[in-house]
Structure 1
Amino acid sequence: MTETGNPSQPTNVHDYTGNHIQVIEGHEAIRKRPGMYIGSTGERGLHQLVYEVVLYAVDEHLAGHADTIDVTITADGGVRVTDNGRGVPVGKGESAGKSVLERQLTEPSFGSRPHTGYRVSGGLSGVGLCVVNVLSSRLTVEVHRDGHRWTQEYEKGTPVTALTRNEETGEHSTTVAFWPDADVFETTLYSFATLSERLRELALLNEGLAISLTDERPAQPVRHHHKGDLRAYITHLNPDLPSFVHSPAIAFASENQDKTILVQVAMQWSTQAPGMIRSFANSTRTHEGGTHEHRFRTALTDIVNEHARRQNLISPDDEDITAEAVQRGLTAVISVKLAHPVFEGATRTRLGNPEAATYVQAVVREHLADWLDNHPDEAAAITRHILGTST
């Protein structure tokens, strides 16, 4: 490469060496290419910062140690997230001189989080608190655990104060407050409606978890909380529809023997609803689907055809009922929670785990086939609806 870099001049391939390769690591990589970690630098990425912190708290709930998450949009444009879990550990970890809390906030890690021992980790990229810290002009953390209140402050991912032990307390909680960096994001204005919808979704996906959202700018606070299975999510997606083919919705859940994959499904057919299938992996919406959603659709079509033939509703010589016919008017939610999610695609919202596909297919085949056999009237109504729309 010539010194002037003029593209019209020839390049000497022998002058191109390893010294010309720019390796970007750690915080520099996150700030230089934020879209790789949170999807974009627009509104979607801005809101993803909130979801990453909230999902960290959701992981604490899944570990059995938190049932409340409070989210606040502060008057000065920041966001504060508090959970009533154990509190992020403040003791020294494997890195000399650095607490576990500081490692969580400064060291990118992918897949399951080694510092916490969580079986399930949410978020798009797995970097969680670190990416939020690096992409924030300022971040503060407050932890109640080990008999004291602990605090620390950061700027653009770098600690500006030491981890400080404050007054004694018997409480347990973690509070993370952050202010997105205006030099990174196209906008730093949060949408109350967007956050509220996503937090409602997380509450519906995680039984027994209460999530509140307060806007100090100001607005009316909301609180999302439900007890039970994913049927509540179906009700949310299809409210007040008088044309259900069957009621209540079908719902089932199963966890594999190793407790590394949990599958939850809820589904309901309607003669008027347009139909939709929403899939999630570790509480993250998989907009592009993936292995879990694909195998759900495949298993669903197979089971409906098998049931229809067993009931002599279609003859052995008839063509199979199409997937399009089976899914018309169907609203379904598929949620998988697994130890090592692999997200693929340009937006990292397509699940790639083959083991998730295998287990989802097995669970759907077992539980849905059993439900149809044990609810003959509802099964007949569903099959009539499907055959009536089949072409």
Structure 2
Amino acid sequence: MSRETTGADAARLRVPEGLEVIRKWPGMFVGSTGERGPRQMVFDVVERAVNEALGGQGGRIDVTLTADGGVRVTDDGPGIPVEAAGHIGGPGLEGLLTRLQTGSRGPRGRHTVSLSALGTEPAVANALSSRLTVEVRREAGHWVQEYVRGIAVTPPTAVGTTTGSGTTITFWPDAEIFETTHPSFADLENRFREVAALNRGLSLSLTDERSRGEAQSVQFRFPDQPRDLIACFDMGTGARVHPDVIAFEEEDSRMAGTVEVSLRWYDSHEETIRGFANSLHTYEGGTHETGLRDGVTAAVNEYARKHLLLTATDSRLSFDLIGEGLTAVVSVKLDNPAFFGATRTRLGGDGDAVHPDVKDTGAVHTCVRDVVRAHLGTWLEQHPEQAAAVIGRIVERTRQG
């Protein structure tokens, strides 16, 4: 620092609290110093914009992997409040980019999305970047600020006026920390597709300018109507046992949330179920997936008994048989999602020590089971030919031993 540096400048260049910890142990915050780390940084920045959009403030997020190794995230939200401009609403720009927000990790209500199980925040991405530039368009003003390795090197500076609103954050993962600073286009593409498919009306685009020639670009936006999540996620292998996708959505006050299901049987022996809680992929399953299985089992057995597809001497069909060839997506959005353990990859169940505010973690299982049982049962009654194809195949395999 030069002798001419003012006291205000010295205060600005002081290392923010927590910054040294983030840079010293990056794996604690982004999971790895390999490719996973820069990918998590993208999620940290995009997640803020997605949750603004889902809160009714904007609806479009554009992510660009730039030719010089940076990542640019632009949204059309209201713009992050700038303390220096006297903007109301928080957290403010510098606070958001330099301080970890207390209690910010994890899904915080059914309209809040986590893009990853780590659930970190923009301050972490800033701390682990060699450089970061932020532009804010808010209340007709256009503001710019620059950071180097998490430290603000300029104050928020007014650079003109604007008629639009939104925030653009461009950052360069620090090569001194990461083995690679290039997140995988395919990994980001897959996760953005999931988030857009699970949240109606959200627009997410991803552009890769890093390779020579024409830039690679994808955009995801799914219409405001019942969706085929199986097709969105490119699931399902083999011939279809029935032509229709069985899809439904319902809110249930007992679990303080909503459940959405999309399912179809294929001519396969494999069971493929993908579960989400507040748009977070629950790799290890949980009560929503158990509820799905129990609801499917109940609906199929009730229909088979009622329509004499099972005789009085036939045993009850087990899910092991019913689930052969079943491909399904079950997504729950909860006011108070309760996860088992710190990884947040399994939705809480009976007896799990998960969340002090959730009194009955079994409610998710019960509600999903009941919703699936009712809607699938109705679909079977309304589509007898398709029902016969589904259940006839299961019964035949049962009798074949």
For this structure pair, what is the TM-score category when the shorter chain's length is used for normalisation? 0.7 to 0.9
1:45 aligns with 2:21: no
Instruction: List structure 1 runs of 4+ shifted beyond 6 angstroms.
Output: 239-242
Counterpart residue number, 1:162 = 155
Counterpart residue number, 2:136 = 143
SS of the aligned residue for 2:216 comes to coil
- Distance of aligned partners of 1:129 and 1:258 in 2 relative to their CA distance in 1, 3 Å threshold: farther
- Distance of aligned partners of 1:139 and 1:227 in 2 relative to their CA distance in 1, 3 Å threshold: same
SS of the aligned residue for 1:314 comes to coil
Is the 2:194–2:233 Cα contact (8 Å) retained in structure 1? Answer: no
- 1:186-216 deviation line (CA, Å, top 9, x unaligned): 3212222222222222222222222221111
Task: Output the CA distance in 2 between the equivalents of 1:221 and 1:141.
Answer: 23
Kindly report which structure 2 residues correspond to 1:1-391, keeping only aligned pairs within 5 A, or say none.
26-91=18-83, 100-109=92-101, 119-123=111-115, 124-218=117-211, 219-228=215-224, 231-238=227-234, 243-257=239-253, 260-272=256-268, 274-315=270-311, 317-345=313-341, 347-352=343-348, 354=361, 355-390=363-398, 391=401
- Distance of aligned partners of 1:258 and 1:74 in 2 relative to their CA distance in 1, 3 Å threshold: farther
Query: For residue 175 of structure 2, what is the amino acid of its counterpart?
Result: A
- Distance of aligned partners of 1:278 and 1:171 in 2 relative to their CA distance in 1, 3 Å threshold: same
Task: Output the CA distance in 2 between the equivalents of 1:257 and 1:240.
Answer: 32
Residue 71 of structure 1 deviates from its aligned partner by 0.8
Query: For residue 127 of structure 1, what is the amino acid of its counterpart?
Result: T
Task: Output the CA distance in 2 between the equivalents of 1:164 and 1:308.
Answer: 70
Q: Return the TM-score normalized by structure 2.
A: 0.79
Is the 2:84–2:156 Cα contact (8 Å) retained in structure 1? Answer: no
* Range that drifts further, 213-222 or 259-268: 259-268
Task: Output the CA distance in 1 between the equivalents of 2:201 and 2:257.
Answer: 19
Is the 2:291–2:369 Cα contact (8 Å) retained in structure 1? Answer: yes
List alignment gaps of at least 5 residues for structure 1.
1-24
Task: Output the CA distance in 1 between the equivalents of 2:389 and 2:286.
Answer: 30
Q: CA RMSD in A?
A: 3.4
Residue 68 of structure 1 deviates from its aligned partner by 1.7
Query: For residue 362 of structure 1, what is the amino acid of its counterpart?
Result: D
- Distance of aligned partners of 1:99 and 1:61 in 2 relative to their CA distance in 1, 3 Å threshold: closer
Task: Output the CA distance in 1 between the equivalents of 2:195 and 2:201.
Answer: 11
Is the 2:59–2:76 Cα contact (8 Å) retained in structure 1? Answer: yes
Is the 1:39–1:347 Cα contact (8 Å) retained in structure 2? Answer: no
Is the 1:199–1:211 Cα contact (8 Å) retained in structure 2? Answer: yes
- Distance of aligned partners of 1:113 and 1:196 in 2 relative to their CA distance in 1, 3 Å threshold: closer
List alignment gaps of at least 5 residues for structure 2.
1-16, 349-353, 355-360
Equivalent pairs counted in the alignment come to 364
Aligned sequence identity (%): 47
- 1:288-322 deviation line (CA, Å, top 9, x unaligned): 22232232223322332233223332245533322
